[in-house]
Structure 1
């Protein structure tokens, strides 16, 4: 057997970032790295940029992923389409396809295209032929009325195109639990809280060691489609959207009507904002602007779509959220084309905006406890992973339920992928597969 067939691959395909880890039979695990701009990156941004280049008398569509997609998008030298957070489409039956220049892309086409860019930049270590490829999936997919079976069908189709149709699919927090369990030296019942961009997932696991071998027993899982992107939306909804025409009025057939809110709901999912340029929404917004009592705010909204300012807006909102985790008050600032928005935001404001989201997350934690038959007092450790775990209101939720002394965390990006790769080296990796494993 070749050395590569002693390896296992763990893939954490995330809403915002993707990480790939490789483990060997000795339990050594490391992340796949990407050389970009003189840096060695372990995180591959979940983004795609398509652009047209002229070849002879015709046009040919080119594509890049990860940090190269962002680089191409920011250069903006050719007509392009930039797509981010497309994982949120996975379980949506209403999303069938999107047109990119002359071609139509289904979700599985976007995912397989993204993975091909990752393989191209990741080098030879990413060998889909290894027997154990373990791919993370949420406990609960994001989106309205998510279809779990549809999402897994799409995952299998995308990875199958690359030769990984033998892959196993494992709950993402279970991967994080395996990563954390390596440091355990005594029997423990562990709650893993994994906060991604689109979903918050929870798993309760019991770990023990027998004759030096780590053994794990899953006790219960739960998940909800509320996480970092939902918190971003609260900032947009209270600070940005009112300055882009939300709540405004327009005239139609002699009546004065409110501008429909559904255009602003697209800010709840960054992936939808990226699609508005080709969905017909842009044309409708232009018609609304002509009929609006105050057209200027809508014209600014149109500029955000037309000039692909969604990514810059996303970064400004994300930076504000991070700042509010460190400070009691910060200034939000976004500027591009005709749009110039700034506002002071306090942590108290932000916590008021996300209060209902935090309440629903708390209910999902309670659901995991109920599913496992374990009380909060029986949890030995709580392992937090994901950037949203730094939000003070979220951390306070866990402190109040479990106590500060039981909380722990590790690398916010790599833990899931590392754990998934380690599951591939476990005695029975198929035991952990759900919704499409083999």
Structure 2
């Protein structure tokens, strides 16, 4: 194979690596407005051009365009979250309707334009990461595969899919000089995925042998939702009521669930949704609260809210208390939050994450004591509550970290070097 790519298409960030002649892999640097970086935000920004038509930018360029003129943009992020969702059909962008695969193709095209020609010619073999369990209430794996196939078709001659934690396992194996049984835990924006892998000694014909996989559609974006649910949604009408003829009814929770989901908040700015919200505002017992929700959506302030939530999470990872601050869309929020409160909010999610770890171990037929090392990767692995789960289960001395945003792409490129990748690919 003359040209091999490992592609980690993430909910929050995307990373590409290329196989190198020495048997390793190198991350591909992509141009940004300020500097080159291997980590490229999985985001799109659309706006109407001066000469008509719709223009677009991706990654950090999308963020820069949005910050320059938010009210004139459509900013879409975390769209990987709806890959397996049959309820998602298309996004409305300035009267144009774009399917998931069209969003994905546009993202890849714009990403390639920032790669200084490194992605222009296409690859002989592309190894694309996919989650063990897709996000969503009823994920449709066949639909996700169909959408991924259409999205990545133009990227290379051969397209193969590998579970994301398996890519991280290959990357971590390069750091080991002795055999080990390893639990790889990959925490991204949309999913938490686990693989139990037997790593052989360096130079072995088959270095990484998967023993079991498990996953759950819960990760960093769900933690964000918990923050929004507790600090923002009560000011937007959550828990409120509206009048319908001679009855007073509870406002349906679906509005608030969509608002707290980054992938769906971006899609609420369409004529039909805004008309329905305006109708709700007129009937609401507290119309000003619904008006604030409308203002955030119409003003395209979702990314600013996302940024404020992210700032709070990072501050709570560094300290025991922080202040959540957000201004925009007639909202003004200043609220102190303790790490203990945040961990209480995400407690139900941590139960499901722990259960997925149990499933991975059970499928491998192993007890926790049989795991030599635990490799934590993905941005959400930096959350103290997540780290503590593994410290308590396996012991801090067995935990390894590093390359939180890049290990998957790095390992996927290394898998692509194998003569027969079928041992690691996912058929469906």
Q: Which TM-score bucket, shorter chain as reference?
A: over 0.9
Is contact 1:48-1:64 (8 Å) kept? yes
2:17 alignment partner, one of 21, 25, 31: 21
- Asked if the contact 1:11/1:19 (under 8 Å) is kept, the reply is yes
Structure-2 residue corresponding to 1:207: 199
Q: Does 1:41 align with 2:33?
A: no
The residue that corresponds to 1:359 in the other structure is: 351
CA contact (8 A) 2:41 2:59 kept: yes
Structure 1 residue 21, shift from structure 2 partner: 0.7
Give the gaps of 5 or more residues in structure 1.
none
Instruction: For 1:183-222, list aligned pairs within 5 A.
Output: 183-209=175-201, 211=203, 215-222=207-214
Residue 99 of structure 1, CA deviation: 2.4
The alpha carbon displacement at 1:154 in A equals: 0.6
Output the aligned Cα RMSD: 1.6
Judge which range, 19-28 or 176-185, deviates more: 19-28
Q: Would the aligned equivalents of 1:7 and 1:25 in 2 still touch at CA under 8 Å?
A: no
> Which whole-Å CA distance do the structure 1 matches of 2:356 and 2:213 have between them?
9
Distance in structure 2 (CA, Å) of the matches to 1:348 and 1:135:
37
Residues 95-244 of structure 1: matches in 2 within 5 Å?
Answer: 95-126=88-119, 129-160=122-153, 162-164=154-156, 166-209=158-201, 211=203, 215-244=207-236
* Residues 183, 371 of structure 2: 8 Å contact kept: yes
User: What is the rounded CA distance, in whole Å, between the counterparts of 2:282 and 2:408 in structure 1?
Assistant: 49
- From 338, 341, 350, give the equivalent of 1:346: 338
Closer, same or farther in 2 for the Cα pair 1:334/1:78, shift >3 Å? closer
Structure 1 residue 260 displacement after superposition: 1.5
> Residues 321-332 of structure 1: matches in 2 within 5 Å?
321-332=313-324
The answer (yes or no) to whether the contact 2:165–2:195 under 8 Å persists in 1 is yes
Between 369-378 and 421-430, the greater mean CA deviation after superposition: 421-430
Residue 4 of structure 2: aligned partner: 8
1:311 is aligned to 303
Dislocated runs of 4+, deviation >6 Å: none
Instruction: Please report the TM-score for the alignment, with normalisation by the length of structure 1.
Output: 0.94
Deviation at 1:140, TM superposition (A): 0.4
**8 Å contact kept, 2:71–2:300:** no
Give, in angstroms, the shift of residue 128 of structure 1: 5.6
SS at match of 1:54: coil
- Partners of 2:207 and 2:233 in 1: CA distance: 50
Q: Conserved in 2, the CA contact under 8 Å of 1:135 and 1:420?
A: yes
Contact in 1 for aligned 2:123/2:155 (Cα 8 Å): no
The answer to whether the 8 Å contact 1:202/1:223 transfers is: yes
Distance 2:394 2:70 in 1: 52
**Separation of aligned partners in 2, 1:257 and 1:230:** 28
Q: How many angstroms does 1:379 deviate by?
A: 0.4
Alignment partner of 2:87: what SS?
A: coil
CA contact (8 A) 1:156 1:165 kept: no
Cα deviation, residue 26, structure 1: 1.4
User: In the alignment, which residue of structure 2 is the partner of 1:271?
Assistant: 263
Q: TM-score, normalised by structure 2?
A: 0.96
- Is the CA contact (8 Å cut-off) linking 1:137 and 1:172 kept in structure 2? yes
Where does the alignment leave 5 or more consecutive residues of structure 2 unmatched? none
| Corresponding residue number in structure 2 for 1:370 | 362
Contact 1:8–1:133 under 8 Å retained in 2: yes
